[in-house]
Amino acid sequence: MEAPLIFRPDFGRGIGSGHVMRCLAFAQNWMAGGWPVSFVMSGQVAPLIERLVKEGIQLIEVETAAGTSEDAERMVEIATQQGARRVVLDGYSFNSAYQHRLKSAGLKVMLIDDCGYNDHCCADIIVNQNPHADSRLYSSREPDTRLLLGTEFVLLRNEFIDWENRRQKIRHRTNRVLVTFGGTDPQNLSAKALKSLRHLKVEGLSVILVGGRPENVGRLQDFKTTMVADIEFIPRTDNMCRLMAWADVALSAAGSTTWELAYMGLPSVIIAAAENQRPIASVLGDREMMLNLGWHESVTPRAIAGALDDLLQSVQLQRKFSNRAMGLVDGKGAQRLKNEILSEDINLRPVDLDDADLLLEWANDPGTRAASFSSEPISGSKHIRWLEKKLDDKDCYFFIAVDYQAIPIGQIRFDCEDRAAVISVSIAAQYRGSGLGSPVIMAASRKILRIAPVDRIDAYVRADNEKSRRAFINAGYAQRDDLLVDEQPALHLMYERS
């Protein structure tokens, strides 16, 4: 169904790797549907490139600087060569003219942003995953630009999503500190952090420093010989969640790592290392989810040591930070974003009698029958009578879901009564496992709430049908209760008008 998705993350000296890693998180989820991904990058760094290649991502190196008119032309050229329909931009250099050039070439544009735009935005979708995100940050935008704002769209990599037990265990004796200021640490805050260790009062201190500048390795050796502490330097890691699970507390910049710390429930001290991190640090500090030390230039090694001491010595404070932060990020941001994008391409056309053969073929598919409450095959004559009755029923809304090429991918039906609708859905066998179930359900559910006199939609799935349950949950349905349908254990899920 989908053409390649092209990412253009900004990366270079003074920027760090946050944009690239955030794009990687979304790329992983997109590729899970079997769809190809390309990253267009300039200023490549070997370890970062190795990680992307390992993930199966095609890399395209360009000489143009991100955000320039020459770069926009190069992106159009690459998208044309690859037959791509969509481009994802992540960075602060992609202004209105850049976005407009891509759209004028027929591309759909998604912009991942943190700061807001004074310039006019013409992207199709704008994503801002921060807790302070507000539509007023994008007051000048196209009427059809969609805003996806807030921490429900936080993008986490698979290593975090797949971690079995993310809830942090608060130990009685805490002395393990994880220090990370990103893959490149543009402000060299790792050096400040190392100096702070001399002032810590914690016995048996154990520290892991991840990333940062190579010159800090020498400083680390000096600290090892002069301090009673276990200190380890890890230049880069593909398994940050393992290190977060090991630690009792963390010291970090208030960038994209913040959401990983929140998801893992790791009590943290944060520092705003860039302008776009100031509001993030402020909100998390004000909500008492993390301990905010403020702007990096004004933070001293003694201030860092004092904050770490306070956190390490208070189990109560650790538990409060952990519980509150975990409630902020649920790990479903990439899935939600993919559903939003795919649902854009799904059109719903009314069913008519000419669809009878196709509907019967789908209905008698072994996978469909196995997931139904009635597993018996359906005869052609019975099916025609049933379909005619449904088409004559003014309270039945029956659609064929088609993709952007008008290829049928499934059917979806709503039977309405007393301001409620019961949903029935099936996806064509060749499209199962590609992640289209949730977008179809999402698109159809939103449509029915617009066109029919209903306030809620009820879904009933077999209790043993985990794939269907997950598809409804990912489409925004909430699981309500367990019950019996045709004397079989079933789950009741509900979608309500917001």
How far is Cα 288 from Cα 268, in angstroms, rounded to an integer?
Answer: 11
268-322: pLDDT as tens digits? 999 999 888 999 999 999 999 999 999 999 999 999 999 999 999 999 999 999 9
- Where are the alpha helices (H) located in 164-215, listed in sequence order? 189-196
- Residues in contact with 216: Cβ distance below 8 Å, sequence separation at least 6, in sequence order: 188, 190, 191, 194, 209, 233
pLDDT at residue number 13: 58
- Residues in contact with 397: Cβ distance below 8 Å, sequence separation at least 6, in sequence order: 413, 414, 416, 421, 448, 451, 452
pLDDT at residue number 227: 60
How far is Cα 153 from Cα 156, in angstroms, rounded to an integer?
Answer: 9
- Residues in contact with 100: Cβ distance below 8 Å, sequence separation at least 6, in sequence order: 122
pLDDT tens, per residue, the chain with 498 residues: 567 899 999 886 556 678 999 999 999 999 998 889 999 998 766 778 888 999 999 999 999 999 999 999 999 999 999 999 999 999 989 999 999 999 999 999 999 999 888 789 999 999 999 999 999 999 999 999 999 999 999 999 999 998 877 766 788 788 999 999 976 787 889 889 988 988 888 888 899 999 766 665 556 556 655 565 688 888 888 889 999 999 999 999 999 899 999 999 999 999 999 888 999 999 999 999 999 999 999 999 999 999 999 999 999 999 999 999 999 999 999 999 999 999 988 999 999 999 999 999 999 999 888 888 888 899 999 999 999 999 999 999 999 999 988 999 999 999 999 999 999 999 999 998 888 999 999 999 999 999 999 999 999 999 999 999 999 999 999 999 999 888 899 999 999 987
DSSP one-letter code for 348: E
Tell me, what amino acid is at 320? K
Q: Which residue matches tokens 């970062």? A: 48
178-237: pLDDT as tens digits? 999 976 787 889 889 988 988 888 888 899 999 766 665 556 556 655 565 688 888 888
How far is Cα 260 from Cα 264, in angstroms, rounded to an integer?
Answer: 6
What's the helix, strand, coil split of the chain in %, to 5? 40, 25, 35
**Cα dihedral 368, 370, 373, 376 sign:** positive
pTM for this entry: 0.88
Tell me, what amino acid is at 193? A
Q: Which of 177, 223, 240 is nearest to 204 (CA)?
A: 177
pLDDT at residue number 213: 62
pLDDT at residue number 66: 92
